[in-house]
Amino acid sequence: MTAGGRVAIRTRALTKVFRGFRAVDAVDLEVREGSVHALVGPNGAGKTTLFNLLTGFLAPTSGTITVFGEDVTGLPPERVARRGVARSFQITSLFDTLTSREHVELALQGHSRQGFRFWRSEKLLGRPRARVDDLLTQVGLMPLADKPAGLLAYGQKRALELALVLALDPPVMLLDEPTAGMGIEDVDRTIELVRRLAAGRTVVFVDHNMHVVGSLADRVTVLQQGRILAEGGYDEVRNDDRVITAYLGEADHA
């Protein structure tokens, strides 16, 4: 989790307009290599839209995105992924009848077919079985490797999602609400898991749970109405009056 000298992701004046509505508005974001960076903000602040822009799932209306200094603005997701940025997928993309092992095998096959050649570990390519076991072990699913995904508990499915993004071995990992919908036990297990997965890579995540943000993030960017409202360490932004007001405003409207 130590921040390196390089910038992993940088955006300049990044903007996404939906039919005249500025969902992301002139955002200058800097994610340092090796950091764990949280994106937070009230509902509708633009977190998901920003996430989709960073991973190529949406094309920006204007502004630029660079990954390790290279311009990726407007590139489709698979080409952004090839530059080292991969995101977690939600449970909705799991196949009920396939086992955890089969999911991970598929993810690894997709990975080698698309040729993520910048960072793949040659040593591991000849040992797919060992690699599958290793990934399942990392997320704690080895004992359930041969159970169909449809029969896994909610927290286990979320762990499988993490295994699938890890299969890509991305230098930059984007996690969309990794603890959403979890009970406290699964939340704490996931915090530990993400902390381990973050070693040696850059992680950007969106989460509404401030316990998760406080436990994991080296740096927090607070968005409101598409703009950066505040940025800094967790304690710094938590005590920022503008942030408190933004969240109180949300509670008022709830």
Binding site for ligand ATP (CB under 6 A): 18, 21, 23, 41, 43-49
How many whole angstroms separate alpha carbon 222 and alpha carbon 226? Answer: 10
> Which is closer to ligand ATP, CB of 23 or CB of 144?
23
* Closest separation in Å from C-beta 160 to ligand ATP: 22
* Closest separation in Å from C-beta 19 to ligand ATP: 6
Q: Is 159 helix (H, G, I), strand (E, B) or coil?
A: helix
* DSSP letter assigned to residue 80: H
* Closest separation in Å from C-beta 215 to ligand ATP: 19
The one-letter amino acid code at 2 reads T
CA separation, residue 128 to residues 35, 81, 173 (Å): 29, 21, 21
**Residue 50: closest CA among 223, 249, 240:** 223
How many whole angstroms separate alpha carbon 80 and alpha carbon 62? Answer: 17
> Which is closer to ligand ATP, CB of 23 or CB of 229?
23
* Closest separation in Å from C-beta 59 to ligand ATP: 12
> Which is closer to ligand ATP, CB of 53 or CB of 172?
53
CA separation, residue 184 to residues 18, 24, 63, 85, 206 (Å): 36, 32, 39, 29, 18
* Closest separation in Å from C-beta 138 to ligand ATP: 28
> Which is closer to ligand ATP, CB of 138 or CB of 225?
225
> Which is closer to ligand ATP, CB of 49 or CB of 190?
49
User: Do 198 and 36 meet the contact criterion of CB atoms below 8 Å apart?
Assistant: yes
Tokens of 192: 């530990």
**Residue 140: closest CA among 204, 202, 212, 190:** 190
> Which is closer to ligand ATP, CB of 21 or CB of 97?
21
* Closest separation in Å from C-beta 229 to ligand ATP: 12
